[in-house]
Amino acid sequence: MIIITGAAGFVGSCLASRLNRDGYVDLVLVDDFSKEIKKRNWENLQYAELVDRNDFFSWAIGKGNLIQFVFHIGARTDTTEFNVDLLNQLNFEYSKNMWNLCLEEGIPMVYASSAATYGMGEFGFSDDYQHINDLKPLNPYGQSKQDFDLWVLAQERAPFFWAGLKFFNVYGPNEYHKGRMASVILHAMDQISAKKQLNLFKSHHPGFKDGEQKRDFVYVMDVLNVLIFLMNHRKDSGIYNLGSGTANTFKLLAESVFAALHLEPSIHFIDTPVDIRDKYQYYTCADMQKLKQIGFDIPFTSLEDGIKSYVQEYLLTNSIY
């Protein structure tokens, strides 16, 4: 059986659906399934069991020899969450328990880290560990992910295969429940549908024109390709970036959403709120060489094509993956 934590959420439910499409149905889905808003993400999946996240470790007693792989995707992902105790419980301690289970039972695992660990990008966006101890995340969420990455690298014993993935800006179907934490593409779609125009933040940096701020946006379908590759690869343990490897402007993102809707772009620039201006990132881009060096060679979807797929195949049809 394959364990997927965060299975009711965005990436976790897409992963479960992809595994079903690939013929895997002996899945154990782990999450808080009490939230009605997420039910669409998992109710039509094929799986062996649903397990509440609080019951998982007691459920797993005596089942280690049945578990073939763990995808530990679940986490508290709200970057505005300032309850450090909650983040420590859900993102750090829970992950330590998962690591120790996989270590003791000989189970390979992949876990979700985050590009939020890079902070302002003072040391670049390389996953080679050279500056990993120096990284300064901008919020408690990012710090919780950084804390676990550092804890992992400090361990003398490890599962026979493990990988931590620093997700960059993932977008795609099944994120409708995320509210303000949903991708810029979903928020753009909502705003354009309502007003036929889109507001973007002005640049307050002399090196960037309005709308030329850049992010590494990665389509969830590409994320799934990496997850499946690692499940089959099962060697070269380590922490890896997971972005597209390309930095695209918010202006291109906006124009791509309008194009997918067959509308002429109508973009307006507004001031970036003062309270976030000093922590606003003007550039992120994943260095993807490390993943390619271990054999991952599937091309990543361009931002334009990813947005076209997301908008036309999922958002306009109110579909999930």
Catalytic residues: 141, 178
Task: Compute the distance between CA of residue 199 and CA of residue 192 in angstroms, rounded to an integer.
Answer: 9
Task: Compute the distance between CA of residue 164 and CA of residue 111 in angstroms, rounded to an integer.
Answer: 5
Report the relative pairing of strands 2-5 and 69-72 from DSSP bridges: parallel
H/E element holding 169? strand 169-171
The SS3 assignment for 69 reads strand
Task: Compute the distance between CA of residue 227 and CA of residue 98 in angstroms, rounded to an integer.
Answer: 18
For residues 270 and 199, is the Cβ–Cβ distance under 8 A? Answer: yes
Task: Compute the distance between CA of residue 63 and CA of residue 41 in angstroms, rounded to an integer.
Answer: 26
H/E element holding 221? helix 220-233
- Maximum Cα–Cα distance across the chain: 59
Distance of CA 104 to the CA centre of its chain: 27
